[in-house]
Amino acid sequence: MTTQAQLTRHHSASVDRLVHEKPIALRLDKQELADAHAQAKAQGRSSSNFARLIHLMGMAQYKRLGRIELPAADMASN
C-alpha cells in the first residue's frame, strides 16, 4: 500500500541538494514538539522532513498573502 509520504517523497537524483552548512534552528514548546513528532510518525516521515514540508506550506501562504496572518484562535494559544 502506498502512503501519502511516499507519494510526496522525492528521490535525491530528481531534486536539488539541501543545504546542510547553516541549518535554521526551530524552537518549539513541549506540546508543539510532541505534535510535530506525532504527525511526522503518522505520515511515515522524519521529523525534519515533516518540518520542512510544513515550512514550505507556510511560505507558500506567506507569499500568497504578503504577510503573516494567523487565526485568532492560534494567537490565543501562544
- Contact criterion met (CB below 8 Å) for 51 and 36: yes
Q: Which residue has the cell 487565526?
A: 71
Residue 10 binned pLDDT confidence (cut-offs 50, 70, 90): low
The stretch 9-18 carries a mean pLDDT of 62
Distance CA 17, CA 6 (A): 19
The stretch 21-36 carries a mean pLDDT of 93
Residue 1 is classified by DSSP as -
Which tens digit of pLDDT belongs to each residue from 29-70?
A: 999 999 999 999 999 999 999 999 999 999 999 999 999 888
